[in-house]
Amino acid sequence: MSGNKFSVVVLALGIAVGAQAQTRPAQPDKDGFTTDITVDEIMASVVMPSAQIVWDAVGVDVSEKGQVEKKPETEEQWAALRAAAITLAEATNSLVVPGRHAAPASKPASDPSSGELSAAAIEALLVKQRPAWVAHAQVLHVAAMQAVAAIDARNLDKISEAGGTIDEACEGCHLQFWYPDQK
């Protein structure tokens, strides 16, 4: 191999190893938990998309063509809906892992006019009011499991009710920890 080709291969390997080092997770704590993913990231990538699937599963769309009932119809649609509810339920456990930060350190401060607290202020509340934080996560877990039961029963009304309960659970937590000054 010529010197230039060898240098390119070594450089490429160095870049790949460096990239792995940057994405390598933090070391597990004494209980085996790794908390390099933040609450904000779990909310954006797991909780909200999963909840949205439940919220969108049942309803009525009204357009110039009339009313169209939205509901799962195929086995695949029912399975996907159930998977979303299970994912939502399990995400509640991830949210309350001790030592998890509220948001990445690189997240910019919130616009004060939005009413949302800064990441540091949210994290301080999560630590100071941990029992309330865990209780909110448990309320969301129960609501998600109500959705699972309703999905298993193929009860559209109960799925809709569970969606409302999920929304209330999210909003209650957000009002306490993310934007407590909003009315």
**Domain map (residue ranges) of the chain:** 1-34, 37-177
d(CA 60, CA 162): 16
User: What fold does the segment set 37-177 form as a domain?
Assistant: Four Helix Bundle (Hemerythrin (Met), subunit A) (1.20.120)
Looking at the chain, the whole-number percentage of residues with pLDDT higher than 90 is 60
The pTM of the whole model exceeds 0.95: no
Question: What is the pLDDT at residue 181?
Answer: 80
Contact call for residues 143 and 162 (beta carbons, < 8 A): yes
On the question of pLDDT at 97 being above 80, the answer is yes
What does the buried/exposed string (b/e) look like for 18-44 if buried means 16 or more CB atoms within 10 Å of the residue's CB?
A: eeeeeeeeeeeeeeeeebebbbbebbe
Question: What is the pLDDT at residue 21?
Answer: 39
Extract the tokens encoding 175. 């009002």
